A and B are shown apart, each in its own frame.
Chain A
């Protein structure tokens, strides 16, 4: 942008300048548009499932005994999360551990579940039983620990589930436990 009052004499050379005014106009419009349309906070989602009553017959004991699975249950309130591991063919608790619901405790919880899943990659479900007074924020922090694998832990192999939404279970192994069931909603 320049304002000139020139008195030119014959033979004087013109100063060479780039006119940046159109560029500034364009930038102004672009900045205004981007500022108006920009989304600075983003909303994400956790997917959870509610158990439902089915009329299908339960699998026979022989089938369950042939391929026993580890069943993980997490009992939470506002302060603690208690992990119980049982086998699908035996109702007895084979392993139990308690964690505080704070960053350190939740990291330990993820480390524990990571070690369980490393030993048995078929583990893909955790059933959560929560106290009625549990705050939503605490519950979400537990879900983060269960699902979102920390960057310092290498991804685990993913066993594809044809029934699952591919968006919920990315193949890169960044999701630790893809299936979360809220067990006590119907209890």
Chain B
């Protein structure tokens, strides 16, 4: 593509588009290489920062419990405020577990049982039926995580998937 040429018979004004094509090509290559086809999306909110991990396995289900610096949110609905020491107020606790969390997990377990009764081909022994996902702020103390896990354990959820920010995208 030429620049500007002037001669006696014709006048041609051309814009050189090859550099922009080069930039677009590089950009497209970069974006395609980093493009993720996974439909999973996790909203972490403003006051929650996941710890960085070298884990290679990607998260395969949405978070059920999130622990930010200010509160604990269960199933994206019920919220329990945290005190300055990172724990909940004693009236929210029963035998070391969070009362509200236990109630929510129990509801989830009941709905799983209903699903199982409706569809006999599903097996409740499958580990996926006993698994919950925890999305916690990197500064969260184990005290509150223990209460949440204990609530899950009492409702027969014995496996937890801990969400982390991957250090590098594979």
**CB neighbours of A137 from chain B (8 A):** 51, 138-139
Partner of B146, one of A8, A17, A47, A184: A184
Chain B 19-53 interface residues, beta-carbon cutoff 8 Å to A: 20-21, 24-25, 27-28, 31-32, 34-36, 38, 40-42, 50-51, 53
Q: Is the CB of B21 within 8 A of A23?
A: yes
Residues of B contacting A: mostly: mixed
For window 44-58 of A, CB contacts with B under 8 Å fall at 44-52
Residue A168 at the chain B interface, CB threshold 8 Å = yes
| Cα distance A4–B9 in the bound complex, in angstroms | 12
Residue ID in chain B nearest A49 by CB atoms: B159
- For B132-169 the 0/1 string (1 means CB < 8 A from A) is 01001111111101100110110011111111111001
Is A43 touching B166 in the complex (CB atoms < 8 A)? yes
A2 contacts B by Cβ under 8 Å = yes
Q: How far is the CA of A48 from the CA of B53 in the complex (A)?
A: 15
Q: Which of B1, B56, B136 contacts A2 (CB 8 A)?
A: B1
**Partner of B141 from A23, A30, A132 at Cβ < 8 Å:** A132
Binds B, one of A59-67, A112-120, A143-151, A152-160: A143-151
Q: How far is the CB of B109 from chain A (nearest CB, A)?
A: 14
Binding site for B on A (CB under 8 A): 1-9, 12, 15, 17, 20-21, 23-24, 27-28, 30-31, 34-35, 37-52, 130-137, 139-141, 143-144, 147-148, 165, 167-168, 174, 182, 184-186
Partner of A167, one of B14, B17, B60, B153: B60
Q: A9 touching B138 by the CB < 8 A rule? A: no
Contact: B31 with A31, CB < 8 Å? yes
Number of B positions contacting A (CB below 8 A) = 67
Chain A nearest CB: distance from B88 CB in Å?
Answer: 13
| CB of B119 within 8 Å of the partner chain | no
Is B142 within 8 A of A134, CB to CB?
Answer: yes
Q: How close is A65's CB to chain B, nearest CB, in angstroms? A: 28
- Interface check B91, CB cutoff 8 A: no
* A45 close to B28 (CB less than 8 A): no
Contact assessment for A38 and B34 in the assembled complex, using a CB-CB cutoff below 8 Å: yes
Interface: B84 (CB within 8 A): no
B114: interface (CB < 8 Å): no
Query: Smallest CB-CB separation from A167: which chain B residue?
Result: B57
Contact B12–A35 (Cβ < 8 Å): no
